[in-house]
Structure 1
């Protein structure tokens, strides 16, 4: 446990940054550095008290994680998901429920003509991918939760962050069997095993 434990506020914003592509919409994904959840994911972050709601957190996270400015956005989903936000999650004082977050999921566009600029120490490998690539990443996550992918293999070549398997299935961007989604949700809420 860190000297000054960070307490999670259990509110998160997720941002599906999209643009038209030759084979359908393309999405920005990143690989998180540091203490964040393991895997590839769209931009996301906490909605802390200093933000005036999820929309302000959305613009901050897009700027912080990929160096972009949002030109337009719309809410596409929201709700509670069991998921830990780092190597462990310190719950708010007095909270005895499960680890997780209330999520606001937005679809957003950014001003064109600027390269993605991941912030060192925050994110790496920011790139545009197709829905087919998101599907492949989600299938890798499902394989990992079935123990078909070792921890070492996962760390070298991760799939989609578990919580995003739910949201992208919910939105119809990817498809996964219910058994896989259940196993992935359990993995998202589990206390991570130290490497």
Structure 2
């Protein structure tokens, strides 16, 4: 099993209508999210972002703007890295081109969603974090992947109470 490099990128892609490109993760951790992945041997966060968009969605990145990021104690399916469990995230907004060709290994149910649907998926994650939905129910019909809730809050894409944000954060560990 690989060891975590404690670095991750996330890539928010929107269209001209303001819809978000998301998918249900086909691998752990469960949830609906934009493209993301470890930096690993990709070099810079920008290089990793371009590679992850290509690997997961088959699209080419034509522009990147850093929108948020920072250290999060979120676990992944790898062994803990030198800094323990967690990742130093760099989250970008990306402009893309090309034909959407999702990875069957990494993605399920790739789709464009509007801000109302993003909030509905967030609310589903909150219900799970509040203990009113089992892990199996969340896996079967996921909300937003818990680590992404903070990033969407940071860019004012969703609304969540501070108490619920703390509950969701506990799901990432």
TM-score range relative to shorter protein:
over 0.9
Structure whose residues are more often helix by fraction? 2
User: How far apart in 2 are the matches of 1:81 and 1:131?
Assistant: 24
Q: Which of these residues, 113, 120, 130, is aligned with residue 114 of structure 2?
A: 130
TM-score (norm 1): 0.84
* Distance in 1, Cα, partners of 2:42 & 2:97: 22
1:151 aligns with 2:143: no
Aligned to 1:192: none
Match of 1:81 in 2: 72
1:158-184: CA deviation from partner (whole Å, max 9, x where unpaired):
100001111001110001000110011
1:39 to 21, 31, 45: 31
Q: What pairs up with 1:55-66 in 2 under 5 angstroms?
A: 55-66=46-57
Q: Distance in 1 between matches of 2:135 and 2:9?
A: 27
Deviations 1:134-157 (A, max 9, x none): 111111001001111122321211
| RMSD, matched Cα | 1.3
- TM-score w.r.t. structure 2 length? 0.95
Aligned residue pairs total 173
Mapping 1:157-172, distance limit 5 Å: 157-172=141-156
Structure 2 residues without counterparts, runs of 5 or longer: none
Say which is worse superposed, 164-173 or 150-159, in terms of deviation.
150-159
**In the alignment, which residue of structure 2 is the partner of 1:105?**
91
Deviations 1:46-102 (A, max 9, x none): 011x2121000011000110111112111111211121122xx41225x4x4x2111
The answer to whether structure 1 residue 20 and structure 2 residue 16 are counterparts is yes
Aligned counterpart, 1:11:
7
Separation of aligned partners in 2, 1:92 and 1:147: 29
- Is the contact between residue 77 and residue 106 of structure 1 (CA under 8 Å) also seen in structure 2? yes
Please say if residues 169 and 176 of structure 1, whose CA atoms lie closer than 8 Å, have aligned partners that are also in contact: yes
Q: Between Structure 1 and Structure 2, whose CA radius of gyration is higher?
A: 1
